[in-house]
């Protein structure tokens, strides 16, 4: 059994904006690229050119379809469509709009660096541990015996067992970057954050209520998945913002008395317009 340290003063972690993530996998591959050759590498690949290629990734992106949530413009408009008295007859092409369109959510998944992680106490050798100074959860490969109890304990599926190395591997929050004084300050952040093309990933101290990441979480209602399990994840996800599809406003906008094209000769109205070149 491995003991947890006292609550650390710093809670370093990631804030991931699900409203902005386009599911491009940049974070996952940047992570793989950094760590494969870094202090916690290699991240071995099995059957790389074969039938079932798989390997160790500290970060994976999953894409989900979510149906039945909310309404969207096209859908609500279809229901209240007023097309000059002509009834809209659903066809193969329009039938879909009677159903709220699906939301597609891209969900990057990596270690959440829980405040009371399930994975650490179960470790028989002390290989899995939580750092007292910043709360990062790490695995010391030199001590790991590959029993995989930690992977069973983690409800987030954040741990990856390397059969080739016989050890458990996981996100390190790029502990070998963030304290490296030989790197430029802007590079002292996790590889996934530096890579993210939509800037949907943020890194900082979630223990400091005044940090940029804490402010983001407060503003956007950041949440931790499966909080009810009680492991107190540090990482936060920002939920999709309400979409500005404005279906609900359509009626109001239509009512703002547009020019009645039928009442004017179609082109004459432009004749008297004084234009200047």
Partner 1 sequence: MPHRSLKPDAPVGDRVVTTTCYMCACRCGIRVHLKDGRVRYIDGNPAHPVNRGAICAKGAAGPRQHDSPARLRKPLLRTGPRGAGEFREIEWSEALALAAKWLGDIRKRNPDELAFFTGRDQSQALTGWWAQQFGTVNYAAHGGFCSVNMAAAGMYTLGGSFWEFGEPDWEHTKYLLLWGVAEDHDSNPIKLGLGKLKARGAKIVAINPVRTGYAAIADEWVPIRPGTDGLLIGALLHELLRHDRIDLDYLVRYTNAHWLVIRAPGSADDGLFARDAEGHPLCAARDASLSPDAVGEEGGAREPVASALRWRLERADAVGIAPVIVGEYALPDGRTAVPAFQLLAQRFLAPEYAPQAVAERCGVPAATIRRLAQELAKVAFEQAISLPQHWTDAWGREHADMLGRPVAMHAMRGIGAHANGFHTCRMLHLLQMLLGAIDTPGSFRYQPPYPKAVPPANRPGRARRDDGALDANPLGYVHAPADLLVDADGRPRRIDKAFSWEHPLAAHGMLQTVIRNAWAGDPYRIDTLFLFMANMGWNSAMNTAETRRMLADRDPATGRYRIPHIIYVDAYGSETVDYADLVLPDTTYLERHDGMSLLDRPISDADGAADAIRVPVVAPDRDVRPFQDVLLELGARLRLPGMADADGAPVYRDYADYLQRHQRAPGVGLLAGWRGADGTAHGVGAPNPRQLEAYAAHDCHWRLPVPAAGRYYKMANRDYLEWARALGFVGSAAPIVLELYSETLQRFRLSAQGHGAVRPPARQRARVERYFDPLPFWYDDIEADGSSAERGGERGHAEWPPSALGAPSPARGGRDEKAYPLHAISQRPMFMYHAWGSHNVWLRQIAARNCLYLHPATAAEHGVADGDWVWLVSPQARIRVQARLHAGTAPGVLWTWNAIGKGKGAWRLAADAPESRDGFLLNHLIGELLPPRDGARYANADPVTGQAAWYDLRVRLERDAAPEVPGHRIERATGSAA
Q: CB 228 → partner 1: shortest distance, Å? A: 28
User: In this chain, which of 142, 219, 228, 263 binds partner 1, going by CB under 8 A?
Assistant: 142
Q: With CA atoms as reference, report the closest residue to 198 among 5, 21, 8.
A: 21
Contact track, partner 1, 149-188, x by CB under 8 A = --------------------------xxxxxxxxxx-xx-
Options 140, 147, 149, 225; binder of partner 1; rule CB under 8 A:
140
Assess 116 for contact with partner 1 (CB under 8 A).
no
Q: Which residues ranging from 200 to 259 are in contact with partner 1 (CB under 8 A)? A: 200, 240-241, 243-247, 250, 253-254, 258-259
Nearer to partner 1, 158 or 196 (CB): 196
Identity of the residue, 98 or 226, whose beta carbon is nearer to partner 1 in the bound complex: 98
What's the closest the beta carbon of residue 66 comes to partner 1, in angstroms? 9
State the DSSP code for 156: T
Measure the CA–CA gap between 35 and 171, rounded to whole angstroms: 9
- Per CB under 8 A, does 267 bind partner 1? yes
Q: Does 20 contact partner 1 by CB under 8 A?
A: yes
| Site membership for partner 1, residue 6 (CB under 8 A) | no
Contact in structure between 171 and 182 (CB atoms under 8 Å): no
**What are the residues whose beta carbons fall under 8 Å from the beta carbon of 44, sequence distance 6 or more?**
55, 56, 162, 163, 164, 165
Please list, in sequence order, all residues whose beta carbon lies within 8 angstroms of the beta carbon of residue 195, skipping any fewer than 6 positions away.
26, 27, 29, 30
Element (H, E) at 252: helix 250-254
Using alpha carbons, select from 165, 168, 164 the residue that is nearest to residue 119: 168
Q: Between 37 and 230, name the residue whose CB sits nearer to partner 1.
A: 37
Q: Give least dist CB 149 to partner 1, A.
A: 16
- Of the pair 97, 214, the CB lying nearest partner 1 is at 97
Q: Interface with partner 1 includes 4 (CB under 8 A)?
A: no
Does residue 49 interact with partner 1 by CB under 8 A? yes
Residue 90 is classified by DSSP as: P
Cα gap 236→247, rounded to integer Å: 30
How many C-beta neighbours within 10 Å does residue 119 have?
27
Our finding on whether 268 is near partner 1 (CB under 8 A) is yes
């Amino acid at each position: 059994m491995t003991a947890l340290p006292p609550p650390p003063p710093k809670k370093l972690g990631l804030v991931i904006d699900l409203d902005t993530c386009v599911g491009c996998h940049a974070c996952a591959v940047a992570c793989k690229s950094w760590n494969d050759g870094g202090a916690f590498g290699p991240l071995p690949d099995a059957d790389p050119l074969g039938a079932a290629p798989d390997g160790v990734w500290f970060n994976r992106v999953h894409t989900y379809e979510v149906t039945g949530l909310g309404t969207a413009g096209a859908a609500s408009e279809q229901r209240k469509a007023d097309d000059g008295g002509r009834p809209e007859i659903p066809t193969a092409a329009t039938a879909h709009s009677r159903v709220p369109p699906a939301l597609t959510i891209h969900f990057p998944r990596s270690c959440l660096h829980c405040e009371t992680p399930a994975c650490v106490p179960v470790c028989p050798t002390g290989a899995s541990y939580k750092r007292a100074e910043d709360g990062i959860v790490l695995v010391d490969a030199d001590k790991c015996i590959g029993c995989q109890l930690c992977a069973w304990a983690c409800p987030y599926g954040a741990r990856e067992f390397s059969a080739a190395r016989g050890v458990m591997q996981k996100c390190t929050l790029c502990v070998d970057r963030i304290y490296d004084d030989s790197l430029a300050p802007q590079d002292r952040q996790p590889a996934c954050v530096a890579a993210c093309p939509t800037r949907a990933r943020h890194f900082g101290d979630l223990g400091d209520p005044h940090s940029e990441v804490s402010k983001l979480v407060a503003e956007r209602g950041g949440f931790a998945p499966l909080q009810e399990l009680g492991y107190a994840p540090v990482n936060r996800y920002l939920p999709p913002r309400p979409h500005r599809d404005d279906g609900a406003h359509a009626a109001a906008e239509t009512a703002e008395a547009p020019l009645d094209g039928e009442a004017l000769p179609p082109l004459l109205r432009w004749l008297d317009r004084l234009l200047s070149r």
